[in-house]
Amino acid sequence: MRTNGTSGEKILTEELLDRLLASDSIDTYLSEEKVKDRELVDYLQFLLNRHGLKRAEVARSSGLNAAVVYDIFAGKSKPGRDHAIMLAFGLNCDVRETQRVLRFAGVSELWCRQRRDAIIIWCIQQGFDRVATDDELHRFGEPTLLSVD
């Protein structure tokens, strides 16, 4: 969803797609809808503010190295899929927010038809943290997010 700048109403992505498909020209659509690219760092900063967290807290609860977290927030690196999921746990994301983090990171979203992904989705929905989620993954014989070699 996005907010329409003039009226403040929420516009669903599906509605935007309908408008794009009905548009006579891409120029008109882009100017009328004020479409701009969002970056991973912008979304992470939004989540950080929304959840009232500090980067150090995100690093601690995600299980990621603090330097890795800072590099991702600075836009110096993009996380792989498991790191993006761990980052979402560190940011206390719900399922939708987690899917957006994954999308912005350029990796595949969680898919409920995949056993491991289904466990992760269920854990997020239940409010589990990353450690409890790793415990569930281990219990079901699936690879954990934080690999302990």
- Domain co-membership, 85 together with 29: no
CA–CA dist 40, 64 (Å, integer): 17
CATH code of residue 44: 1.10.260
Q: What is the pLDDT of residue 11?
A: 59
* Total domain count, the chain: 2
Averaged pLDDT, 81-105:
97
Rounded CA gap, 3 and 8, in Å? 6
Question: Is the domain of 89 the same as that of 46?
Answer: yes
Residue 2 — φ and ψ, nearest 5°? Answer: -145, 160
**Are 29 and 13 within one domain?**
yes
Query: Is the pLDDT score of 4 beyond 60?
Result: no
Write the burial class of residue 49 (CB in 10 Å: 0-12 exposed, 13-18 middle, 19+ buried). Answer: exposed
Q: What is the pTM of this model?
A: 0.80
Enclosing domain of residue 105: 40-139
Residues 102 and 54 in one domain: yes
Q: Output the pLDDT for position 18.
A: 87
Which percentage of the chain shows pLDDT scores above 90?
72
Q: What is the pLDDT of residue 16?
A: 78
| pLDDT, average across residues 108-131 | 97
Given this model, what pLDDT does residue 27 score?
84
**Amino acid letter for position 2:** R
